[in-house]
Structure 1
Amino acid sequence: MVNHEYRFKPYTRNSIKDAPQWKYLTPSQQEAVLAISRVLPFRVNAYVLDELIDWGNIPDDPIFRLTFPHRDMLQPAELEALCNIEGGRASASENDLIKRMRLDMNPHPAGQLTHNVPHLQGQPIEGLQHKYRETVLFFPSAGQTCHTYCTFCFRWPQFVGMNELKFDAKDARTLVDYLKVHKNVTDVLITGGDPMIMNTRSLAGYIEPLLAPELSHIQNIRIGTKSVAYWPQRFVTDSDADDVLRLFEKVVASGKNLAVMGHYNHPAELRPAFAQQAVRRIVATGATVRMQAPLIRHINEDPDGWAELWTTGVKLGAIPYYMFVERDTGPRSYFELPLARAYEIFQQAYQQVSGLARTVRGPSMSAHPGKVVIDGIVQLAGEKVFALQFLQARNPNWVRRPFYARFDPHATWFDQLRPAFGESRFFFEQEAHAGASSIIFPPVRENPTVAIAVNSDVDHRATVS
């Protein structure tokens, strides 16, 4: 029975010992949590601890692995070095060790700091990314934390004090200025962290400027959030829960679509009646809820679980959207799965659901050139290959063009794939090699000083962006 009287209380590395559930961890598990959380972010809340984790099944409970570090997430020598750090503050040399570990984890894959950052009047814009023609990502500074951190999160550098690698914007003014001269942009994704960590007044300060008449070309406002799973109280019993729903209604009444991009990694997150109530309340405002998550080893490898998640979502009015491939960052060796296995899991889950849930797409890799989906594993011209295509791309002309990679049973990411049929390059690499631009954004006529500054060099060895 979910406690409707929860008041949000986070537990961090410094306070997790105060949680009643700490005693359920063995000394070895406790040691790993305290050691690894020196390198990777750790934060959890009472709802997750009380309602989502089965403490009789740790460490194998999926939500436990989603939120608590496991010793196998680091190499044995790295873990030993961290465990040897005495309590209290680490020394300068130990801090250097921690920094090296973080940098070795590919904290901003595919050079997001250079490839996707737009410029306004010759200056890079803090807190924005513009990778695809139609969509701008916005990182409000007040939303750069979460109700609970996921151990696999590809944006973990946002939370560990690596300020030189952090995306955050203090207000919406620069975003609005940028959008005014980029009429090709139709979608703004407000992301983090988690924007829903903000109170409604702060959230409205970022959203309401997007409703201005001069931004009529903005059709869709998206909010990327895990709160629907880790803190559904945000939409039901928080002191301003009704206020945030009224804000959603205001966006819809303005004629724009509001899409809540709900991150659900496991069906257990949507089983509580309270979590289902949150979805129903959001949908009742006229907003849409779309469900997306990566496929993660140790957590959601069961096709039946995915089918349950998508089917439950459809029943509540949510839209299954993406199954992603786990990104090439953080403790990736712990979480990654071979692409062949990812396709098998997706296919087995997909065939269990009705057409209403087959809006889901996957397995999809958000790689440097675009979102690449594995359409199948087939035999063509005597060769076993991955059938691939772009669902979204830096160059819109690449979208939905089939291409093929040699089958590799061990490959876990796009950069490990090689072109099939004896080709030396994929088609998009051939175009780049021939001098074609890898990004097509219409020229900005309203203000010629405004431009996208994105590296157009495409390499199939590049990783996720």
Structure 2
Amino acid sequence: MIQFKQAAVPFWSGISAWRDVSEEQFGDWLWQERNAITNADELAAVLRGIASDEMISDLRAGLLHAPMAMRLTPYLVALIDWSTPESDPLRRQFLPLRSEMVDPHPLLKFDSLDEHADMKVPGLVHRYRDRALFLATDHCPVYCRFCTRSYSVGVDTEVLVKDRHSPTRDRWRKVFDHVRSDSTINDIVVSGGDCFRLKPAQIKEIGEELISIPHVRRIRFATKGLAIQPMKITSATDWTDALTNVCDLGRKRQVEVCLHTHFNHPNEITGYTVEAARLLFGRGITVRNQAVLLRGVNDDARVLSSLVKQLSDLHIHPYYVYACDLVHGIEDMRLSVRSACLLEKMVRGITAGFNTPAFVVDTPGGGGKRVVHSYDLYDADLGLAVYSAPSVKPGQFFVYPDPLSSLSPARREEWRNAKRADEMVRSVVERARAGS
């Protein structure tokens, strides 16, 4: 069992702006909200004397090329090692540096998973026959650089005007009506955005409405909150009570209601995490984790193994490890399919099978999640893996590209030629089709 001893000096005291903040204050989610950092000027002021002028300038330039705006909790900022920010695994997830950005892959699209094509009503993605994704809100307590839904989530940036999915009753009503009318849907993921951004009354409304639909048997509320603002679980009692009540109601009606969260690195687990996880477990709430495989964050078998085992000890079930999606401005963070397969092999066997995550690719173009090594064809020289999804979109093939950095210089040059790039994609799909 994970035990965190009370440190003699709080971990946030190394930042002069928060040196005198008490444990009670820091552990109050409302204090975290009031002191959230939303732009480079605010961050520079907080890090005065800690981060170099060069680092702040690099960050400012990075934000100009990023699809996601900045929003950070003090908790998250304090967990970053500011003596080596360039290599810190938390900094890499949330703060873009222009110096580390590389050219995007030619196959990049802003909506890389083509969610709009499977959107039956605004904010409801119905890709799988029996499951649907409900984008209940377009806001998060923090914004990740690698967000798949950068086309929608957060405020507009220098490079992207967002396709918003605001949490309005009128839009929600259309979602509920569609789910009620389609008896094939028995599993709903409530996401966005982030469910931490829903008010307690909204958690209650969504939960009760979905539970009242006879064919809905499973509901998953998705939030990164447990990883970046765990004190909300313990100090925002009305929010946690609302989630608990929905879970209890679901259990009475034979509907499974659970919480899905998002840890990527062991450094995100603190005493606050332990306290929040114990509270959720004590209330009988099932919690599962979905991590994203990121270069410089968790592309190390020891790091991933530690994350899996620590989450398991907190009764947070490691569910998925995703290959990083194609997102603007984060090409330096992606790994090849070969690397993902090797990491999966190293992690499998370290703990019980039910606590071992599936390594998956959410295939570009809307084929859904495929186990990373289940490709129909993988050409590591071209850097292309081809997947089929018979139960989702039969007869179609979906191509996931390795980062160009994993390829030979000659291949990288070929990818810069649009005609040649089309030929390479077409050739691997034809080979996959011939072998199927």
Aligned position for 1:144 = 138
Q: How does 1:17-416 map to 2 (within 5 A)?
A: 17=43, 19-40=45-66, 41-50=69-78, 52-74=79-101, 106-113=109-116, 115-118=117-120, 125-140=121-136, 143-157=137-151, 158-161=153-156, 162=160, 165-171=163-169, 172-212=172-212, 215-244=213-242, 245-270=244-269, 272-358=270-356, 360-368=357-365, 369-375=367-373, 393-395=391-393, 410=407
1:13 deviates by 0.9
Q: Is the 8 A contact 1:373 1:389 kept in 2?
A: no
Code of the residue aligned with 2:63 in structure 1: it is S
Give the unaligned 5+ runs of structure 2.
1-6, 11-22, 413-421
2: CA distance, partners of 1:337 / 1:375: 14
2: CA distance, partners of 1:367 / 1:377: 13
1:379 deviates by 12
SS in structure 2 of the partner of residue 309 of structure 1: helix
2: CA distance, partners of 1:252 / 1:277: 24
Q: Is the 8 A contact 1:42 1:68 kept in 2?
A: yes
Q: Is the 8 A contact 1:219 1:256 kept in 2?
A: yes
The change in CA–CA distance for 1:331 and 1:286 in structure 2 (over 3 A counts) is: same
1: CA distance, partners of 2:162 / 2:377: 46
The change in CA–CA distance for 1:137 and 1:73 in structure 2 (over 3 A counts) is: farther
Q: Is the 8 A contact 2:294 2:324 kept in 1?
A: yes
Q: Is the 8 A contact 2:344 2:359 kept in 1?
A: yes
2: CA distance, partners of 1:305 / 1:230: 19
2: CA distance, partners of 1:235 / 1:398: 45
1:247 deviates by 3.7
Residues 1:426 and 2:432 aligned together: yes
The change in CA–CA distance for 1:363 and 1:335 in structure 2 (over 3 A counts) is: same
Code of the residue aligned with 1:268 in structure 2: it is N
1:138 deviates by 1.1
SS in structure 2 of the partner of residue 12 of structure 1: coil
1: CA distance, partners of 2:162 / 2:77: 33
SS in structure 1 of the partner of residue 260 of structure 2: strand
1:417 deviates by 6.9
Residues 1:5 and 2:25 aligned together: yes
1:10 deviates by 1.2
Aligned length: 380
The change in CA–CA distance for 1:47 and 1:315 in structure 2 (over 3 A counts) is: same
1: CA distance, partners of 2:315 / 2:262: 15
Moved more, 229-238 or 360-369: 360-369
2: CA distance, partners of 1:311 / 1:190: 27
SS in structure 1 of the partner of residue 76 of structure 2: helix
2: CA distance, partners of 1:65 / 1:23: 21
1:48 deviates by 0.8
Code of the residue aligned with 1:313 in structure 2: it is L
1:229 deviates by 0.2
1: CA distance, partners of 2:265 / 2:62: 23
Aligned position for 1:445 = none
Q: Is the 8 A contact 2:36 2:73 kept in 1?
A: yes
1:419 deviates by 7.5
1:218 deviates by 0.6
Q: Is the 8 A contact 2:247 2:258 kept in 1?
A: no
The change in CA–CA distance for 1:429 and 1:262 in structure 2 (over 3 A counts) is: farther
The change in CA–CA distance for 1:393 and 1:153 in structure 2 (over 3 A counts) is: farther
The change in CA–CA distance for 1:199 and 1:169 in structure 2 (over 3 A counts) is: closer
Q: Deviation per CA, 1:41-96, whole angstroms, max 9, x where unpaired?
A: 1111111122x2122332211011112111235459xxxxxxxxxxxxxxxxxxxx
1:260 deviates by 1.1
Aligned position for 2:18 = none
1: CA distance, partners of 2:333 / 2:99: 10
2: CA distance, partners of 1:373 / 1:177: 33
Q: Is the 8 A contact 1:144 1:159 kept in 2?
A: yes
1:136 deviates by 1.2
The change in CA–CA distance for 1:308 and 1:219 in structure 2 (over 3 A counts) is: same
